[in-house]
């Protein structure tokens, strides 16, 4: 009896929930869904269900317009601060300065809009990924429909190569094997059956009688009844969770926090300056108010947004040279801060391409070279390439593998990679045959196939008959324990003899040894005889030929990248849907898992609270049998510990964790559209080693950010010290509002941008990386700021006081020029934290050389032209004045050089000790 949609809420079982469908008998599932396994739903019933439950698609979010994205760029405390600064400067009738500030804001917004506009909506990507067609039975007739028209209770028909249109419970399975790698992370195709599963808590990867939207059939045929569509599917639930996740890269949140501090501090200091000037009574109220406003403007790092954009854009450009696409500017710097990189095994550590690595035949173990599905490679014996003609048993083994492969191998010109349609195990056998010189297509054309028993999960073998030299040649590939039990003879050096118990024991030991190395082992056998009809009874009296040891091919660059990550102080952990033993073996091989480390499985995670999971992460380097929900919890647990985590992935199952991680990294070639859209960075060449290169680039950017902040804030602090000290000492104002704006918007504007272009320092991955403070500025930077600002304040006030009794305009000109020269010197010493300026190439940063030339020219022009003298209220200086200023201002270099020398000396002593 059909379930009435309008009575849905009264039903005991939610029609679109797949929570317990795997736990029920197939016949009961059909009844509960009000369907019929033979005739399916009627057209009228389908209409009712689609009207009530909606189409089988994910919500299509309307893309934001460029205008909306543009205005979103202004949602930042720092931007609010700069907007206020621009308005204040405008009210001061400083139209040019106000124009500069507003230009900075506009440039920053345009750059951000361009970057954000490149990213497509994640839900749209999910919809694009999952959309397909479906074969269904309706009203007793088979028909092909759009997957959007599939309704709960529909009976769907399955065959090789088709994508699964909705979550469904299997009713019939004929050797049905499904790839769920993009959904669960498990690289091996899953054999599916129709029997019920007793475990009500079985996870997605363990529900062998269920099919899930977005996966695809690699072999066999079957029939299933749809239990969930749209958002009720597993992939639908992922899309819902993704839409609710908000994540910022660390630099974004740090800048916001720093901006709030700047607002509070600057406004407080400005209030103090106004109060001091007002109560001391030596200044006109309007004058001191205008100065307080000017201090607000000068203390705000007006150039910071544009410098940040320039600095990050340069990093983006550098990373593009290394085949890394950066979707968000701040993401480049974020990877430099990463403390943990959580890597998805399938597609990241491995290529998701099964490859034959070992061949055991004639009591000899051979190794096979090559990468993934590429057909180039050699057969090695004791690390030496062999002559295939001298090893007939190898040729026979390759021929059997070619006969037993129904996979289709092709080269994709666009992506320049080999792709496979069909079972990965059979694809690996085909690639081996190609390496040895047997083209599958030539084999099948020369020796036509006459009969076949497809691979069956219960039989555990695949058998084919080919006509070879007018005789029937039976080739069998399957599970070693099954094949060996059916063998009565063994091939040895091209000759046949009876198999002995010792042979069986030796083969079993080899099989066991290979399995412990996380290899998938396939046995190959043959039989040459007249076969009237191929059936299971014919599969006996076989001749054992050999074993193939297969493994998901590990990316060549991974091992080196792991060493670099360790040197950089980054923990790499592996997350996979594979079984614990397989996961641990692969993790050991690439250097992730070491003695003393632990493995957490899905069951372990289920038993832990979020806090308990966070506490267990110290020693964990491998997570096995992990579902998408578990990945999300793992990433969240690292963040709960206060660690900055980057997550790599390529499948739908990675989407949640890619979005929630501080930084999501997707594979460009093998990655799904979902993973790419959920990520911040995309590795265009799928080279895992590029991640470490990006870490180095990120650390270089972070270093340059610190240099720029040191330069900007030491200037602002020095200015504040000068003004407050002058008021307390009873001096007239050493600098005027217009002069402060000139200093900050012109001198700083060129020099901080040039400093941001400083070249990458050597050894960034070797030195210990200290996690940045929340407000970016650490104690070491504060120490340098205080030293340089104090030197600047004292020197400026001493020179100002020595001229004040004569000409006030001359005195303010001296003070302004002294502060300007301090900027010239300071930008040079800010180029390195510890290296002396005499150890650095003065011309290595050509941008800084040009910027210094520009600001020197501009300031000289301001002093010696009528326009500059009028706008800034300054007068020309003599050569004697210049000499005094240039020598006195060296104090900032002296104090910083002494500090650097003390630091290098303490480090040298520590190294000796």
C-alpha span between 168 and 306 (Å, rounded): 53
C-alpha span between 737 and 796 (Å, rounded): 16
C-alpha span between 114 and 96 (Å, rounded): 27
| Sign of CA pseudo-dihedral 307, 312, 318, 320 | negative
> Which of 540, 530, 544 lies closest to 468 in space, CA to CA?
530
Choose, from 97, 188, 344, 552, the residue flagged as catalytic.
344
If DSSP codes are grouped into helix, strand and coil, which group holds residue 518? Answer: coil
Task: Check: CB of residue 457 under 8 Å from CB of residue 191.
Answer: yes
841 half-sphere exposure, CB direction, 13 A CA radius: 7
697 half-sphere exposure, CB direction, 13 A CA radius: 25
344 among known catalytic residues: yes
Compute how many other C-beta atoms are within 10 angstroms of the C-beta atom of residue 148. Answer: 18
C-alpha span between 435 and 376 (Å, rounded): 6
C-alpha span between 402 and 398 (Å, rounded): 6
Task: Check: CB of residue 358 under 8 Å from CB of residue 519.
Answer: yes
Task: Check: CB of residue 130 under 8 Å from CB of residue 235.
Answer: yes
Contacts for 902-906 with beta carbons within 8 Å, 24 or more apart? 903/834, 904/834
Reported as type and span, the H/E element at residue 336 is helix 330-337
C-alpha span between 285 and 264 (Å, rounded): 23
Alpha helices in 447-531 (DSSP H): 480-485, 501-516
If DSSP codes are grouped into helix, strand and coil, which group holds residue 611? Answer: helix
> Which of 523, 520, 590 lies closest to 550 in space, CA to CA?
520
Backbone torsions φ then ψ of 836, nearest 5 degrees: -65, 150
Provide the token pair at 68: 């909306």
Task: List the end-to-end C-alpha distance of the chain, in Å, as a whole number.
Answer: 84
Q: Collect all residues with Cβ–Cβ distance below 8 Å to 907 and sequence separation of at least 6.
A: 834
Q: Which residues face 527 on adjacent strands?
A: 474
SS3 content of the chain, % helix, strand, coil (to 5): 50, 20, 30
As annotated, the active-site residues are 344
């Amino acid at each position: 009896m059909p379930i009435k949609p309008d009575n849905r809420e009264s039903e005991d079982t939610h029609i679109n929930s797949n929570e317990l469908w795997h736990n029920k008998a197939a016949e009961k599932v059909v009844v509960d869904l009000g369907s019929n396994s033979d005739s399916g739903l009627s057209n009228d019933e389908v209409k009712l269900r689609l009207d009530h439950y909606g189409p089988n698609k994910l919500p299509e979010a309307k893309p934001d317009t460029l205008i909306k994205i543009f205005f979103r760029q202004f949602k930042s405390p720092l931007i609010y601060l700069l907007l206020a600064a621009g308005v204040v400067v405008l009210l001061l009738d400083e139209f040019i300065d106000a124009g500069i500030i507003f230009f900075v804001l506009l440039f920053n917004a345009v750059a951000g809009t361009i970057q954000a506009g490149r990213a497509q909506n994640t839900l749209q990507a999910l919809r694009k990924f999952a959309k397909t067609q479906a074969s269904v039975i309706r009203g007793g007739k088979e028909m092909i429909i759009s997957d959007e028209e599939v309704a709960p209770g529909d009976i769907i028909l399955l065959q090789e190569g088709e994508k699964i249109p909705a979550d469904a419970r299997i009713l019939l399975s004929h050797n049905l094997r499904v790839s769920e790698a993009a959904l669960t992370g498990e690289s091996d195709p899953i054999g599916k059956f129709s029997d019920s599963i007793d475990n009500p808590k079985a996870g997605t990867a363990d529900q062998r009688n269920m099919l899930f939207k977005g996966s695809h059939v690699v072999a066999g045929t079957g029939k299933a009844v749809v239990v969930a569509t749209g958002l009720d599917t597993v992939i639908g639930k992922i899309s819902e969770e993704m839409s609710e996740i908000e994540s910022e890269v660390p630099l974004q949140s740090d800048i916001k926090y720093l901006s709030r501090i700047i607002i509070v501090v600057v406004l407080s200091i400005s209030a103090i300056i106004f109060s001091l000037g007002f109560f001391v009574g030596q200044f006109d109220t309007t004058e001191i108010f205008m100065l307080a406003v000017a201090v607000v403007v000068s203390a705000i790092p007006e150039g910071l947004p544009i410098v940040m954009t320039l600095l990050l854009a340069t990093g983006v450009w550098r990373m593009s040279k290394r085949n890394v696409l950066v979707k968000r500017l701040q993401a480049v710097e974020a990877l430099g801060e990463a403390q943990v990189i959580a890597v998805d095994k399938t597609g990241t550590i491995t290529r998701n391409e099964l490859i034959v690595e070992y061949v055991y035949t004639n009591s000899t173990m051979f190794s096979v070279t090559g990468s993934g599905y590429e057909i180039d490679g050699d057969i090695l014996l004791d690390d030496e390439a062999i002559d295939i003609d001298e090893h007939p048993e190898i040729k026979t083994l390759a021929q059997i593998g070619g006969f037993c492969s129904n996979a289709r191998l092709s080269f994709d010109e666009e992506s320049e990679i080999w792709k496979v349609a069909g079972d990965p195990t059979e694809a690996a056998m085909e690639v081996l045959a190609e390496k040895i010189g047997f083209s599958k297509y030539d084999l099948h054309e020369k020796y036509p196939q006459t009969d076949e028993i497809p691979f069956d999960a219960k039989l555990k073998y695949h058998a084919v008959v080919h006509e070879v030299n007018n005789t029937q040649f039976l080739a069998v590939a399957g599970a070693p324990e099954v094949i060996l039990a059916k063998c009565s003879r063994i091939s040895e050096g091209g000759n046949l003899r009876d198999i002995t118990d010792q042979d069986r024991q030796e083969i079993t030991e080899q099989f066991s040894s290979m399995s412990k190395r996380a290899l998938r082992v396939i046995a190959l056998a043959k039989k040459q005889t007249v076969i009237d009809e191929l059936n299971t009874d014919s599969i006996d009296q076989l001749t054992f030929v050999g074993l193939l040891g297969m493994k998901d091919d590990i990316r060549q660059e991974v091992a080196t990248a792991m060493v670099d990550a360790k040197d950089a102080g980054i923990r790499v952990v592996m997350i996979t849907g594979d079984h614990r033993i397989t996961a641990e073996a692969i993790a050991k091989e690439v250097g992730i898992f070491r003695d003393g480390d632990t493995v957490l499985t899905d069951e372990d995670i289920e038993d832990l609270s979020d806090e308990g999971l966070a506490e267990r992460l110290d020693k964990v380097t491998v997570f096995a049998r992990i579902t998408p929900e578990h990945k999300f919890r793992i990433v969240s647990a690292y963040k709960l510990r206060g660690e900055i985590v980057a997550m790599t992935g390529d499948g739908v199952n990675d989407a949640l964790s890619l979005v929630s991680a501080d930084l999501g990294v997707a594979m460009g070639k093998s990655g799904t559209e979902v993973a790419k859209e959920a990520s911040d960075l995309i590795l265009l060449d799928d080279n895992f080693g590029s991640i470490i290169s990006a870490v180095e680039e990120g650390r270089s950017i972070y270093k340059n950010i610190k240099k720029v902040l040191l330069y900007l804030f030491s200037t602002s602090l020095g200015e504040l010290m000068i003004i407050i000290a002058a008021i307390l000492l009873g001096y007239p104002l050493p600098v005027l509002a217009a002069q402060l704006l000139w200093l900050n918007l012109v001198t700083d504007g060129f020099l901080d941008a040039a400093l941001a272009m400083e070249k990458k320092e050597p050894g960034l991955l070797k030195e210990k990386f200290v996690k940045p403070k929340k407000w970016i500025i650490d104690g070491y930077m504060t120490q340098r700021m205080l030293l340089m600002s104090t030197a600047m304040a004292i020197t400026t006030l001493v020179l100002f006081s020595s001229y004040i009794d004569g000409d006030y305009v001359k005195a303010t000109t001296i003070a302004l020029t002294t502060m300007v020269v301090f900027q010239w010197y300071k930008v040079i010493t800010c180029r390195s934290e510890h290296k002396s300026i005499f150890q650095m190439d003065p011309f290595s940063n050509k941008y800084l050389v040009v910027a210094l030339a520009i600001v020197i020219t501009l300031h000289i022009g301001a002093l010696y032209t009528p326009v500059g003298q009028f706008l800034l209220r300054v007068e020309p200086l003599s050569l004697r004045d210049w000499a005094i200023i240039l020598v006195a201002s060296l104090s900032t270099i002296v104090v910083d050089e002494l500090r650097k020398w003390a630091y290098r000396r303490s480090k040298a002593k520590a190294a000796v000790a």
